[in-house]
Structures are given as C-alpha cells and as structure tokens.
Amino acid sequence: MKKLFEITDKIAINWLTIYFFLLIIFIIFRADFLFLLRDYLNENTTFYEIILSQYKGALLSMTSAGYLSLFLFIPTVFSIVFTHKYFITLKKLCAVILFFILSILHIASIPFYETYRENFNQMIFRGINEDWRALLVTFYEQFSLIPRLILTVILTIILYKIFIFFIKKEYLSKLFSFFPKIISRSVLIIFCYLTILWTLFGGALSWEHQVDFENSGVMRDKFLNEAILDSPQAIYRAYRHNSRVLSCNGLDFTAADVKRLAAIYANTDEYSDNIDDYLTKYASGEKIKEPRHIFVILAESYAAWPLLKEYENLHIADGVKEIMQSEDADYTLTMLPNGSSTVSALMGITTGFADANLYLTVMQEAYKEPYSTAIAPVMKRLGYKTNFYYAGPSTWENIGAFTKAQGFDEFISKGDFKNSEGSVWGVKDEILFDEVFNDLTDEKTFNVILTASNHSPFNLDLNAENIDTVSIKNALVGDAKKDEWLVKELGHFKYADREIAKFISKTKEKYSDSVFIIIGDHADRYNIEKNATDYKRYAIPFIISGKGVKKGLLDNKSAGSHIDVMPTLVEIIAPKDFKYCSLGKSLTENQKAVNYGFFMTRNFFGNADKIPLEFEKISDENDILNEEEMVNYINSVRAVSWYRAKYGNIIDENLIKD
C-alpha cells in the first residue's frame, strides 16, 4: 500500500509539473506575441489593459495546458509504473513532438496575424483546399520558411532541455517533502482537484465563470483580444467556426424562416414555396447602348483605401483613379467583398449568392446545373459569349470545372497561355490582359478576369517593371517608411493598378463600344496603418467605365457586394422587362451591403453578427441607420443564399431535416 501511495504521489507531482510548465510556456509565448506585434496596439490602450489581457489569457491557457498535459501524462504514468526504458523514451519523444508543435504554432502566429489581423482563424482550414505547392513557395519566399523552421527546432530543443531539467530536479517533490506526509498529500490532492477544474472551466471553478475563446474577448483593443488566445485556443476557435461552415448550421434557419425572410426581401405579402419567385425581377430598361464587350476585372487584393484622397501622395492607384474621374465612368467605394478570400469572391460573382457558410466549389449541388442567379446564363441570354479568364491554374479551388458548371462557355487559365511568367499563383497581370485582348473579335463577349499579381509571395521584379518604389517609400510616414515588405506590397499594388489601366485604355481604343467593371476580390491583407478602421480594412471599389456610362449612373448612396454585379449590369444594358433572377440588387438603386461578417451603407460599417448592431460611421453625412431594416436585409440575404444554394428552389422543411 505504501508503494502504491508513493507511485500515486509521483504521478500527481509529475502531472502538476507538466501542467504548470505548459502554462508558463503559454504565458511566455503570449508575452512574446504581444511584444513582437506591439505596433498593432491602439494608441489609447493602457498598461493596465495589457496586464489584464495577459491575466485573461493565462486563465484561458489553463484549459490548453490541462488538455495538452495529457499528451505527456499518459506516457509519464507508464514510465513511472513500469520503469521500462521504452516508456521513458516514449515520454521524451512525446515531449519533443509537443514542444515542436507549440513552437511552430507560436512562430507561425506572428506572420499570420500580420497578414489577417487575427490569431489563427478559419483561413487555415480553407488553406487545405489550396494548391500546396503554391503555399509552400509562398511560405518560402514571403514568410522565410527555412529560417522559421530553424528557429522552431532551436526553440524545441530549448524547451525540451528545460523540461527534462525540471523533471529530473523534482522541485515539486522536494517542496512537498518539507511537510508531513498527511499534509503534503492533502495539499497535492487539492492542487490536482483545482487543476482539473481550471482545465475544464478555463481558470474558473465552475461553468458560471468559465473563460473560453467566445467570451474572453472583452478588451477595447482588438489586438489584445487576439493576444488573449494562445495558439491551441485560436486553432480550436478556427475549428469550431469551420465546423459550422461544413455543417451549414451556423445560419440555423428553418424553412418557415426562409419563406418569411424571402418575402421581406421581395417586399411582398404573398408567400410561395418556390424561392425563385421572390428573386424574379424585370429590368427597367437599358441605360446605355448595348456594349460589344463587357469585362468584369476581379482584381486580386484591390482595396478601396488607396483610392481615398488621404492616400493620393502614394500614387499607387493613379491609373484606376484616372478612370474613376473620367466622364465615361461612375463608381462607389462602399462595397463589401463576399468573403475574406478570393474563392468567396469567385462564388459571389459566378453564382450571385452571398457567403452563407457554404463552400460551393466543392459542393455537388453546384455542379448539377447553373443556379438561377448565376451570371453567365443571364449574359448568354443577352447574346454574349461568356469567358472566364484566370491567371492561375484551372485546378485551384476547382475553378475550371466550377465556372463551366455555372454556365461559362469558356474557361481560360495559366495552362492555356504561351507565357507563364509570374508566381506560383498565376501569370503576371500583363500577360493575362494580353491574352484577353488577343482573343477579342467583333463577336459579343462577356469576360470575367481574375488577376493574381497583387498576391504573395510578391515576387515581381519591380525595378524591371519600372515601378518606382523609392517614391512610395518616401511618401510613407513613421515606422511604415522602414517596412521594406510593405513597400514591396504597395509596389505590387501599383503594378496591378497600372496594368488594369493599360488594358482598359488599349481595349477602348480598338473596341470603343465596351464596358469595364473593376472590383476587388477582397481587401483585408495589408494596410499602411496598424490599426486601420474596419472600413479601410475591408472595403473594395466598384468602378464602371465605358461608352455611354456617365456620372450619376449609380445611386448617389450606392453600396453593395459581389452579388450585386450581375443585377447592376442587367439594369444598365438589358431591354425593358427582361426577366432574370437575382438575390443582389442593382447599384443603380441598392444602398445596402452584407457579407460573411459585416454590413455597410454609404455612411455606416458594422458587425452583422451582433444584435443590436455594432457599427462605426464612415462619413460626415447626417444620417441614421434603420437597424430593423438592416437586420432583415442581413438575415434575408443569408437565409436565401444558404437555402437556395444547398437545397434548391423549393422551400421544404423535410429537405433541411434530411
């Protein structure tokens, strides 16, 4: 019995040692994360708030430390009970694996935050569907993969050596040995009990006070809220969010909800079981003469903020700005991307559905036939041959098969080009636009062009491309002036902008009866400010230019997203009473936008997932947000997108249950 107690004591002490060692690692890693990314702190953040975030993070890490300690605890038990060298070796091997994983996650979290302004998020799961070769090249060229791996190995060795040192020294055993057995054993039991509770309830003793990733973000500073999460907790958050996406239960609408919200969307009291009845529209009549060629330039990472007056000294968007200001153009800078990645933009443009927790490019439903709201079939009915040009490979996100399934006549990509110069993500914009231009004839065409140059690993030779990065650097202020990588990114933006302007100018010269739409795919990858407003982080532009276009074509308070591109085109060029289905609305009248997480109007930008709505003003206009109307719009767009894309046009509760 005495030997059994001794073994039990030793197991408990070893577990507590492992637990607190891991907890200390998380605390140090969090402090390092905060220090290395300190430039992202808001100016008004106080030292007290920083300490409070560290405290909240430590509580949350008690859960991480508890669960991860089991990875070492089990082989530890075997090594103590059986004392065989194989079990001792197994324990050491498990320690190396665990410390390597924690080290690489911590080191990777720094560039991840710099890119996405979040600790690990759902993008890590979307990356599974990416081109892994392209990802590895990007990691190698942009994110210093080899040096970071070397640093990971060094950090792993350091953590392992310190861990073995503490295990061998048996500091906790020596501490407990100072007291009588009954006292030390009682204290040991209490500590083990508390540790179990801290693990289950995130540093609390019961669920009423539990700290988890969903309730820990209580700081004013968004960066501190992200710093609270250790890497395992951030990945768990990403996993939970991704699980909602895969199961499509993040929306949680019933068939009755869908019908009611569709009726609100259509502003009708008449209910129908056919969801397309709510989406059917009739064009008001053409605003311009039917163009010969139509181009939707879906520009990689083309954000709205470089087009704002306050950034004109950078001169990175001069080409598109000149197009915007010309007499044959109109535009709005209050546009939301369909999602945080290019694939979301692809889905929004091609299908006309908002990002509603569905990954359409891998869903069987999207390959049966084009959706009623898809853009290509509508343009074909208007007499256009439909082409989709992509700078990258046809296998990326199944884009080749997906666009053809959604009605495009032709899909042209990197493998079809004679010149493949560019990056692993695709050919240079210049090559892409040349291919498009060379394919043009007098035949009427509708063309979507998805570019790739303004994308990591940002490996263009900017000097060879005559991009003046010195002037960009000189225009920056403060620490941004010292950020060589930022200068490179802005240089690639300038290149992308120039190539768009060149293509439009050249095409107008030969085919003057053409119309061009310029729209970004997303805009949240980089900004000059460390703490840019949400509007500056996420807004993309919508510019339309061409013969017959003039200022005032779009509503003077227009706002929208990728799903509004098709109805805008239809309302501009289609004859009166042309029948079509669309969830989006024409920017000639639409004043509201919603996407995967946000809503926007000309004057307001806010979080679409919090009721009551949380928002910021983005203009000086004296205006009031109709919150009830916006909430109905958010829910109706999401509900209809979700149901129609997954279950078809007939609203039936049994389909959801199945």
CA–CA distance, 53 with 56 (Å, rounded to integer): 5
Residues 204 and 318 in one domain: no
Task: State the average pLDDT over residues 351-375.
Answer: 90
Residues 184 and 314 in one domain: no
Do 418 and 393 touch, CB atoms closer than 8 A?
no
Residue 89 located in a structural domain? yes
CA–CA distance, 488 with 469 (Å, rounded to integer): 7
Residue 456 located in a structural domain? yes
Residue 57 located in a structural domain? yes
Residues 53-75 pLDDT 10s: 888 888 888 888 888 988 877 77
Residues 523 and 591 in one domain: yes
Residues 210-231 pLDDT 10s: 666 655 655 667 788 888 888 9
Average pLDDT, rounded, for the chain: 87
- 3 state SS for 297-337: EEECCCCCHHHCHHHHHHCCCHHHHHHHHCCCEEEEEEEEC
User: What are the tokens at 258?
Assistant: 């869908």
In total, how many domains does the chain have?
2
Residue 373 located in a structural domain? yes
Residue 417 located in a structural domain? yes
Residues 79 and 175 in one domain: yes
Residues 600-646 pLDDT 10s: 999 999 998 888 888 999 988 888 899 999 999 999 999 999 999 99
Residues 198 and 100 in one domain: yes
Residues 214 and 330 in one domain: no
Residue 484 located in a structural domain? yes
* pTM as predicted: 0.79
Sorted by sequence, the CB contacts under 8 Å of residue 366 that are 6+ apart come out as 351, 360, 402, 405, 406, 645
Range of lowest pLDDT (192-196, 401-405, 408-412, 542-546): 192-196
Residue 253 located in a structural domain? no
Residues 225 and 102 in one domain: yes
CATH number at residue 389: 3.40.720.10
Quote the Cα angle for 461-132-522, to 5°.
Answer: 65
Residues 310 and 417 in one domain: yes
Residue 156 located in a structural domain? yes
Do 163 and 21 touch, CB atoms closer than 8 A?
yes
Residues 105-160 pLDDT 10s: 999 888 888 877 788 877 777 666 666 666 676 766 676 778 888 999 999 999 98
Question: Which residues are 591's β-sheet partners?
Answer: 559
Q: Print the domain residue range for 373.
A: 283-625
Residues 66 and 191 in one domain: yes
Q: Which residues of 56-86 are buried (b: 16+ CB within 10 A; e: fewer)?
A: bbbbbbbbbbbebbebbbebbbebbeeeeee
Residues 323 and 439 in one domain: yes
CA–CA distance, 70 with 199 (Å, rounded to integer): 11
Sign of CA dihedral 89, 91, 92, 93: positive
Residues 389 and 521 in one domain: yes
Q: What is the DSSP letter of 271?
A: -
Residues 190 and 289 in one domain: no
